[in-house]
């Protein structure tokens, strides 16, 4: 979950069905919901860009932008199946994704720099 104080919303992702949902802070009502990548683990708000990042074990990071009261997917970034744990640092302006080891590759941290 992520808190959007400026819009008084709580953002949450669900795995089944795979949805990003925004709830009103004052009464918990559903404001918006949209499909997202499968096996979601983390959701972060980038307040500077008014974007939401969702990392999924399906092997994607979905990026959503506010569109009216809802959200529109603006990017569907391929990663690695199983890489679902992430951290967005607003101070460093980076999204970090944990990628587990495979038979041919060691574990790693992928670093994404959001674009303006």
CATH code: domain of residue 51: 2.130.10.10
Q: Where in the sequence is the domain holding 101, given as residue range(s)?
A: 2-112
Provide the Cα torsion 91, 5, 84, 37; round to 10°. Answer: -130
The tokens describing 99, both together, are 């990628």
10-residue block means of pLDDT along the chain (116 residues)? Answer: 95 96 97 97 96 97 95 97 97 97 94 92
The tokens describing 12, both together, are 């949450």
Answer whether the bond into residue 17 is a cis peptide, omega within 30°: yes
The tokens describing 83, both together, are 């890489």
pLDDT for residue 96:
98
The Cα 103–Cα 116 span in angstroms is 36
pLDDT for residue 98:
98
pTM assigned to the model: 0.94
Give every strand in the sheet of 70-78, ordered side by side. 40-46, 51-56, 60-67, 70-78
Give how far Cα 76 sits from Cα of 6, 27, 63, Å: 25, 31, 7
Tally of domains in the chain: 1
The Cα 66–Cα 58 span in angstroms is 23
């Amino acid at each position: 979950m992520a808190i959007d104080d400026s819009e008084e919303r709580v953002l949450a992702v669900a795995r089944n069905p795979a949805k990003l949902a925004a709830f009103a802070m004052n009464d918990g009502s559903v404001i918006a919901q949209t499909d997202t990548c499968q096996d979601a683990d983390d959701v972060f708000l980038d307040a500077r860009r008014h974007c939401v990042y969702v990392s999924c074990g399906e092997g994607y990071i979905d990026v959503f932008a506010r569109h009216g009261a809802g959200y529109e997917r603006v990017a569907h970034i391929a990663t690695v199946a199983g890489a679902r744990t992430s951290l967005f640092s607003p101070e460093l302006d980076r999204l970090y994704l944990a990628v587990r080891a495979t038979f041919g590759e060691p574990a790693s941290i992928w670093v994404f720099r959001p674009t303006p």
